[in-house]
Structure 1
Amino acid sequence: MQWFEGNAVAVLLQRFRQGDREAGEQLAESVSTIFIRYFARRYANRQVVEDLAQEACVRLLCHLPALQQPQKFSFFVAKVALHVHRAYLHHRYTRIEHRYEGMEATAPADFADLELDLERALGRLPDHHQEILRLKTHGFTEREIAHSLGLSRDSVKSIVKRSRKKLKIFLCA
């Protein structure tokens, strides 16, 4: 069975909702190669690919009852793969951060001077440029900054780029 055949998906989905486990297994089996291809394009480690594909199949089965429109099954499959991928990346990078937890950060002796230089350079920028850069460094997106300041996203993007360029000039001079 092809995973994208709408009528077959609708029939299997209906059977699965009625408690037919075999229908769920057929759905998962039909998309397992899709998941394997998706993850194989991103990772060379075969074990990681197989683990992620298996996780995606499990999540697919867990969340399948939420799918109301069988014609959107392919989008549902893609969404499951994307969420599994994001979860894996989040877990992977969280583990990397934990490796460095508890390690004392060592700074150069003149770190205070560098911070002072940066504050002076920031002080040379217009106030609204400083505000935009500070918001950007605190993790706000350009869209959020634009919305909060009543500017267009393109304006914020341009100001960030020009301000960083000016800071570089001020700091290197």
Structure 2
Amino acid sequence: MSRKRLLALGAALLLAACGGADRADTDPTAIEVTGSGDEPAAQPTGTESGGTSAAEPSGTTTGSGGGGGDDDDQHDVEVSDQSGDGSSVVVDRVRVEAAGFVVIVDNAGRVVGNVAVEAGESTQLSIPTDISESGDFEALLYADDGDGRFDPATDLPVPDDDDDGDDDGDDDDDDSDDLESDDFDYELA
């Protein structure tokens, strides 16, 4: 290939990469959380009733944006199987585009713990929980409705970035696989 053709190809690729629209302008599933920015950070809640816990989440948070993952998902949550006394769950990694919540639910769908997360990536996030028996659990991402408190009636679950339909391949209408989540086993020690 001649040098002139290579330069033309490079210029065309550069222009194509720069010409895309902002995802928030074109994607109806993009999440935008608005607020004055002066509100204090949300505190974790430990029960479904929304009671505020005095416990602070622990973990490492990096600035907003991508942050070192293998994929281009704007939202992601990863949890490993674990054991403990039921008072907390450690989430390996969370990545969110806007502030929201990581919510832990049991196999029956009951909320057993949740914590607020800032936009960006967090690792080794400890979430206060009230787990009374071993079993299957799920960590879900929820978008904050702007009040800084988790409420399953008003805060909406975050759709899975990679979802392209019924991922589990079954014939039912279960859409839980369409949400950004990760299943894990918890063993009471």
Aligning the two structures, in what range does the TM-score lie when normalised by the shorter sequence?
under 0.3
* Larger relative contact order (CA 8 Å, sep ≥ 6): 2
Q: Which structure carries more helix by proportion?
A: 1
TM-score, structure 2 length as denominator?
A: 0.23
TM-score, structure 1 length as denominator?
A: 0.25
